[in-house]
Structures are given as structure tokens and as C-alpha cells.
Amino acid sequence: MSSPSLFSLHGRRILITGSYRGLGLAIARGLAQAGATVVLNGRNEEGVAKSVEELRTDQLDAHGAAFDISDEASVKDTLERIRKDLGPLHGLVNNAGIQRRHPLHEMPVEDFRLVLETNLTAAFLTARHVVPDMMQRRSGKIINMCSLMSDLARPTTGNYAAAKAGLRMLTRSMAAEWASHGLQINAIGPGYFATEMTRPLKEDPEFNEWICGRTPAGRWGDPDELQGVAVFLASDASNYINGQIIYVDGGLTAVI
């Protein structure tokens, strides 16, 4: 039986982007419960502060950093401030993401670019300013939040699918370059989870029936069900895993 300490995150500082609500907040809570000092992020300063206070009320070590992950100057300045105030990061979860749904032939170019910049380019920008400390220490964990759409496609989500497929390959590229420096870079591929973002889909009877019928587990995921895999990938338990994507989808990608 594995020792509980194998999954301990005590003494580790982890930034989770896009984490003041939804899947990001659930992951941040799970990491903090495992002992990590977590830094929540989002553009909404009030929302970040509220979620930080929520975690602190539960006696968890949480801090906030409201900044635009798609603005490199903002990323660099904020990470330097985190380093000065808390110390260098041991982990990064690139979770922030948005959707702008349109048929491809009607999609505004600005919406295509915005989704790629937020869901893909921002992960590159954040990681590139986090890894120098990790490389020097020869230790660090990066978790990229991919998606079912890293492999599958649906109508009206071409920009999102392109970004998430790119993030899967960026994960592999990061592993190819940084694994030799003692880092582990992996990805999580969530299936359909019940969040504020997906509420309109869940409340659509036809779509809800399709998801529950298509998913072997027969239901939507609960955001807290991502905590275990996040803790695993952020801990020493995953020290020889690199460049992989773990789907947490109730079995959806396992069936035709």
C-alpha cells in the first residue's frame, strides 16, 4: 500500500489559472486540502478575493492574483510579485478557458483568435515564466487542462477544439523539452461537468439526455471529481509520468 505522504502537497505553492469558480476552484480546493498553498487567478478581482476568502474560511492556505493570462507583461509582473511575496512556484495548473460558439463559416475571426489566445497561447505564456525556477530547482509540475475536444469535435466549437488539441500537443512538447530538467508536464481531459458554464447545456433536455446516454457512467461529472487526478499529477506519485493526458469523463471516450 502506498504511503499517504506520496500524495502530500505540503510545502508546495501552486498557481491555478481561471480558478475563482467552476472546475478551477474545485481543483484549487482539492490541492489546498492536500496541503498546498494555492494561488487563485482570474480577471475578476472581486471574484478572486471572494473565493480566496471562502477557502481561508475552511482553514486552507489560499492567495489571490487577479491578472490577464493572455497579456505577457501582466503574466510576468504578477509571477514576479508572487515569487517575491510567497516564493517560487512548485506547480502550475493552466485551467483558464473560454468558449465562443459559432459555425466555422460564420465565426468572427476575433472570436477564433480570442479562444486560441486564452485557451492555448496563455498556457504557453504562463508556463514559460514559471519554468526557470523549476528548472533551476530540477523539480516542478505543470498540469494543462485539455478537454474531450483535444481529440473529438462537435459543431460550433471549432475554435475551442483547435485550441484544446493544440494544448494537448503543447503538453507533449513541454515534456519533450523540460522532462530532462526534472519537470513533469501532463494534462487532464475533463468530460462533461456540471458548472456555471455548462448550465445551459445541462438544462437543455435533448442535450442532457444525449450526454447521459452517451456517457457510460450515465451522468454529468461533479467538479470535485477532478480533485483526485489533480492531486496525483501535482504530487510525487506522478514523478515518472510525462506528456500524458488523463481523461476524466465517465468513460465517454472509451466507447463508440
The catalytic residues are 160
Helix (H) or strand (E) run with residue 233 in it:
helix 227-234
* DSSP codes, 130-196: HHHHHHHHT-EEEEEE--GGGT---TT-HHHHHHHHHHHHHHHHHHHHHGGGTEEEEEEEE--B--T
C-alpha–C-alpha distance, residues 52 and 10, integer Å: 18
If 0-12 CB within 10 Å is exposed, 13-18 middle and 19+ buried, where does residue 43 land?
middle
The identity of residue 38, as a single letter, is V
Cα end-to-end distance, the chain, whole Å: 35
C-alpha–C-alpha distance, residues 143 and 217, integer Å: 25
Alpha carbon 60 to its chain's center: 20
Distances, alpha carbon 209 to alpha carbons 68, 127, 215, 256, in Å: 37, 38, 10, 17
Strand partners, 93: 16, 143
